[in-house]
Amino acid sequence: MKASYSLLSFPVAMVLSCASFATGQMIKAAVVSTTLETTSFAQWSQDLGYQKTQLYPLILAATGCPLVDVDASGVKVSLLLDSGTARGLVITNNAPPIPYRVEERMEELNADGSHRGESFRIRVETVSVLGEVFKNVAGSLSDWQMFASEPFNGTVGLDFFLDRRLTLDYQSRKVGVTCSPLPERLDRKRYLSLALTEPPKSQGHILYERARVNGREAIVYFDTGYNVSFIDPGFAEGLARVERPGKFKLFREGVPLELGGHTFVLDELRESPVRRGTGFDLPVALVLGSALCPASSSLSTSAPRSSSSPSPRSSSLFQTRIPLACRAVLCKYDFMRTTVDLPDFLFRQVKSVAASRGSTLKDFVQNALQQAVTSGRGARRRKVRLPLIRSKHPGALRLTNADIEDHLARH
């Protein structure tokens, strides 16, 4: 069994979760051990000070990445909650028609500064995100294929939560949002508090933290917009190597990660170069995405409120290079997972039936197992009456096999 983990509490975002795979499924990373004790939705929502009115539904895309419902100038749309975007709002050509004003054409760059493509800078009159309304919001209109292999409507970044604390719970599919600061006293056996590393200025509000990866000092990058997690080849020396069929063939297992005084061991990390650009004093060795992300995550920031478009940290903070008062909290979610190997033909049938019913594979399998477990509980049990053979002399009755068969046949 593998435990599911959660980063809990950020006025920005983080993640980490165990995932199993069956034949034919996407291979996802898994946390196989940790020194953190378990928690639950009921417990963390209380420990982190959330009221019921501050908890909202969290939607999981087919890729496992988190989505939230957004109202953009009267148009309701589900957008990816992406802790890895340097921009607050991105609308793609897959989204329903949203009223906006085009300002200019602009070049899109990758984190390492290389050319990615072109988009349009736009303005949206109002954007409502998890209980707060923003006006005259700057964003971009882009082709979804520039960022992903599967269609998506767009993203909202952490710029929308600079003055709010955000907690994601993948397992319970809840997201908590509050303006209250993160409680100072948390159970250190259950919660891991991290002082985040300030990213390069060009990257906006991206989540980085110092750690030890495979015994070496490095930086870890948390990105809810990724549905995979991977390790840079420069940090893979000596790790167990697994080759699998498909586009991405090389994976690493038993990856030791020391983070905030706790030790984690990660499996099924894709080996791939991590290119996050310059401006770091240590190499970025790990990218932890929603496939490995904890069932929840949270950070706190002291950035000033903005009643208009969410913007990067204030210019004064940027100019003086004073980091925001950000903290991340990581916890282990009290939920168990296991790996089930399915024959290819059965997996294809299950996937097909789930899709025809408009259900995710995970929900379909969970419902099927639940029905199988509960269907027998209501079945009436019949009492079995065995024949009673009396003896005139107790303890002295002698029966042959033929006698027993004869009595059973008559009863």
User: Which pLDDT tens digit goes with each residue over 333-367?
Assistant: 444 555 666 677 787 788 778 777 777 777 788 78
Q: How far is CA 151 from the centre of its chain?
A: 19
Instruction: Quickly tell me which residue has 């932890």 as its tokens.
Output: 288
The angle formed by the CA atoms of residues 311, 107 and 98, to the nearest 5 degrees, is: 60
Confirm if 231 and 269 have CB atoms less than 8 A apart.
yes
User: Where is average pLDDT lowest: 34-43, 146-155, 401-410?
Assistant: 401-410
User: If pLDDT is split at 50, 70 and 90, which confidence band does 308 have?
Assistant: very low
Mean pLDDT for the stretch of residues 259-269: 85
Own/partner long-range contacts of 340-349 (Cβ < 8 Å, ≥24 apart) = 340/20, 340/22, 341/22, 341/23, 342/22, 342/23, 342/24, 343/23, 344/23, 344/24, 347/22, 347/23, 347/24, 347/25, 348/24
Mean pLDDT for the stretch of residues 70-95: 90
**pLDDT tens-place string over residues 46-73:** 888 899 999 999 998 888 889 999 999 9
The confidence score (pLDDT) of residue 300 equals 34
C-alpha span between 235 and 221 (Å, rounded):
14
More confident residue, 316 or 203: 203
The confidence score (pLDDT) of residue 24 equals 37
The chain-wide mean pLDDT, for the chain, equals: 74
The confidence score (pLDDT) of residue 136 equals 92
For residue 135, is pLDDT > 80? Answer: yes
Mean pLDDT for the stretch of residues 293-300: 40
Question: If you ran DSSP here, which 8-state letter would residue 9 be given?
Answer: B
For residue 90, is pLDDT > 90? Answer: yes
**pLDDT tens-place string over residues 179-210:** 887 787 888 777 777 777 877 777 777 888 89
Give CA separation, 125 vs 86, 135, 164, 307, 309, in Å.
Answer: 21, 6, 21, 12, 9
For residue 17, is pLDDT > 50? Answer: no
Instruction: Quickly tell me which residue has 């599919």 as its tokens.
Output: 173
CATH 3.40.1500.10 fits 2-337, yes or no: no
User: If pLDDT is split at 50, 70 and 90, which confidence band does 285 have?
Assistant: very high
The confidence score (pLDDT) of residue 112 equals 66
Mean pLDDT for the stretch of residues 7-35: 43
C-alpha count within 13 angstroms, C-beta hemisphere, residue 160 = 32
Longest dimension (CA), the chain: 106
Q: For the residues of 268-305, what is the DSSP string, one character each?
A: -EEE------S--SS-EEEEE-TTT--S--EE---PPP
C-alpha span between 131 and 177 (Å, rounded):
8
Here the tokens at position 184 are 């100072």
User: If pLDDT is split at 50, 70 and 90, which confidence band does 99 have?
Assistant: very high
Question: If you ran DSSP here, which 8-state letter would residue 53 be given?
Answer: G
Mean pLDDT for the stretch of residues 323-327: 36
For residue 7, is pLDDT > 70? Answer: no
Question: Which residues lie below 8 Å from residue 406, measured CB to CB, with a gap of 6+?
Answer: none
The confidence score (pLDDT) of residue 181 equals 79
Instruction: Quickly tell me which residue has 């790790």 as its tokens.
Output: 239
The confidence score (pLDDT) of residue 318 equals 19
The confidence score (pLDDT) of residue 226 equals 85
The confidence score (pLDDT) of residue 339 equals 61
Phi, psi of 61 (to 5 degrees): -70, 170
Here the tokens at position 215 are 């015994």
Give CA separation, 96 vs 41, 65, 200, in Å.
Answer: 33, 20, 34
For residue 378, is pLDDT > 70? Answer: no
Give CA separation, 246 vs 26, 146, 243, 249, 339, in Å.
Answer: 10, 22, 9, 6, 20
The confidence score (pLDDT) of residue 27 equals 52
Mean pLDDT for the stretch of residues 108-131: 84
Here the tokens at position 59 are 């939607």
User: If pLDDT is split at 50, 70 and 90, which confidence band does 410 have?
Assistant: low
Percent of the chain with pLDDT over 70: 71
Mean pLDDT for the stretch of residues 138-162: 87
Q: What is the pTM of this model?
A: 0.67
* Element containing residue 140 per DSSP (H, E): strand 132-142
Here the tokens at position 268 are 């099924």
Here the tokens at position 165 are 């604390």
Among candidate residues 51, 45, 33, the one with its CA nearest the CA of residue 329? 45
For residue 3, is pLDDT > 50? Answer: no
Question: Which residues lie below 8 Å from residue 289, measured CB to CB, with a gap of 6+?
Answer: 15, 29, 65, 223, 224, 225, 226, 227, 228, 229
Percent of the chain with pLDDT over 90: 23
The confidence score (pLDDT) of residue 5 equals 36
Q: For the residues of 370-408, what is the DSSP string, one character each?
A: HHHHHHTTTPPPPPPPPPP---SSTT-----HHHHHHHH
The confidence score (pLDDT) of residue 411 equals 61
Length reported for the chain = 411
